[in-house]
Amino acid sequence: MRSGRATTRGALQQATGLSRATVGQRLDRLFRAGWLREGAGGQVGSPLGGRPSITLEFDDAHAVVLAADLDTRHARAAVLSLGGEILAEHGGALVVEDGPEPVLAELGRWFAELLTKAGRPAAEVCGIGVAVPGPVDSDSGRVVQPPIMPGWDGYDITGRLARAFADHTDARTQVPVLVDNDADAMAYGEQRTGHPDCSAFVLIKVSTGIGAGVVVDGAVYRGIDGGAGDIGHIRVPEGAQALCRCGSYGCLAAVASGGAVARRLAEAGVPAASGADVRDLLASGHPQAAALAREAGRSVGEVLATVVTLLNPGVLMVAGDLAGTPFLTGVRELLYQRALPRSTAHLEVVTSRLGERAGLVGAGALVVEHLYAPERAEERLRALGV
């Protein structure tokens, strides 16, 4: 019903093969839980004949989701409806290098303030989604050897954030917390909202570091332990002498990330310390920043030629601090030069549609998909006593 494939009792019988009585029993449980409502469209003709059927739909107002998107020096948080609408939002300075304790405690405070702003009680929060700039083991929700998140390796983010949320609200039960990589969350949010029919979607985020998110057949591809998409640590020849924050030499991120461009600008006497500073310089039309961003785009484009040849995506989206015209021009130059023509014949190279909200929307959507998946939904309905 959430997908819109079946929105009447008769259509549900056809789609599931269940009897009318069984469908009725299950719908009664969903109505008692407050998960369903009668649709605004009124009645439609029944596919099984007979009198018109009342349309039914998922009630995306019966609960809310909290989401946070952490960058290296900045974060955003929001309250979202189950349909992905942002009801209240806040962004501010939050430095991941300060460690998980102060960062997660501050997020708990932000969440409480946002719920007040949105006019929603803590009891209506069904889950929290957090996007972080590092590889995540999706089974445990723990960050695994993150190059730019010192002190976070193996830390219990889910438990600590649930406690921080409870500390600042009147929440009486522990809220489930899902942690995911930021590029994965962004890719999922962008694919769901802007390219739902694309069966192979790739997003590359170029900010302080470089990462990629891949969505295949509507699901995030994470690899066996969350390491898929970490293209910032592919070795490139021009970076042989460049030391990466991961401790190795020659990584793509060491020569083409926002942090790398900022370092080169600083060496030339231009004040810049992060990808965000480079973004601001690009927005002001700074010629040296534009030249270095285009050069960085060429380095990234060469690596993306392999990615595109391997995955053959329909959409390649460039996002993050460097996702402007100079960088995108550099990407296109090398991508189309190095990739097989067949791999790029039906490829769209685009920039972000959701902008800074992509991670929030994606993290929220991942929580909803997790909580309302068939096996999880049944477990939650039993817990509600319906």
pLDDT digits (tens, 9 = 90+) for 66-91: 999 999 889 999 999 999 999 999 99
Residue range 120-125: mean pLDDT, rounded: 95
| Percent of the chain with pLDDT strictly greater than 90 | 84
Is the pLDDT score of 167 beyond 70?
yes
Report yes or no on 3 lying in a domain: no
| 172 and 72 co-located in one domain | yes
- CATH number, domain of 266, equals 3.30.420.40
Element (H, E) at 189: helix 182-194
Query: Residues near 31 by Cβ (< 8 Å), separated by ≥ 6?
Result: none
* Predicted local confidence at residue 51, as pLDDT: 56
Report yes or no on 240 lying in a domain: yes
| 246 and 149 co-located in one domain | no
Report yes or no on 322 lying in a domain: yes
Per residue in 231-252, pLDDT (tens digit) is: 999 999 887 889 998 889 999 9
Query: Which residue matches tokens 């270095």?
Result: 292
CA neighbor of 288 nearest in space, from 255, 261, 256: 261
| 90 and 143 co-located in one domain | yes
* Predicted local confidence at residue 45, as pLDDT: 54
Residue 208, domain extent: 195-354
Per residue in 287-297, pLDDT (tens digit) is: 999 999 999 99
* Predicted local confidence at residue 173, as pLDDT: 79
SS3 track for 125-188: EEEEEEEECCCEECCCCEECCCCCCCCCCCCCHHHHHHHHHHHHCCCCCCCCEEEEEHHHHHHH
d(CA 157, CA 152): 8
Report yes or no on 78 lying in a domain: yes
Query: Could you count the other beta carbons within 10 Å of the beta carbon of residue 334?
Result: 18
d(CA 308, CA 69): 27
Is the pLDDT score of 314 beyond 70?
yes
Residue range 89-104: mean pLDDT, rounded: 95
Per residue in 345-383, pLDDT (tens digit) is: 999 999 999 999 999 999 999 999 999 998 899 999 998
Residue range 162-180: mean pLDDT, rounded: 91
| 253 and 339 co-located in one domain | yes
Tokens of 375: 């096996």
| 347 and 237 co-located in one domain | yes
Is the pLDDT score of 44 beyond 60?
no
Report yes or no on 1 lying in a domain: no
Sign, CA torsion 296/297/298/304: positive
| 199 and 347 co-located in one domain | yes
Phi, psi dihedrals of residue 202, rounded to the nearest 5°:
-125, 130
| 230 and 349 co-located in one domain | yes
Q: Give me the number of domains the chain comprises.
A: 3
Report yes or no on 2 lying in a domain: no
Tokens of 373: 């998946």
| 54 and 136 co-located in one domain | no
* Predicted local confidence at residue 240, as pLDDT: 83
| List of E strands, the chain | 36-44, 53-58, 64-70, 74-81, 86-93, 125-132, 136-137, 142-143, 177-181, 200-206, 210-216, 219-220, 315-319, 348-351
Round the average pLDDT of the chain to a whole number and report it: 93
| 54 and 73 co-located in one domain | no
Report yes or no on 101 lying in a domain: yes
Give the angle subtended at the CA of 102 by the CAs of 182 and 359, to the nearest 5°.
15
Task: Classify 287 in phi/psi space as left (phi over 0), alpha (psi -120 to 50) or beta.
Answer: alpha
| 86 and 157 co-located in one domain | yes
| 126 and 204 co-located in one domain | no
| 69 and 168 co-located in one domain | yes
pTM for this model (two decimals): 0.92
Is the pLDDT score of 46 beyond 60?
no
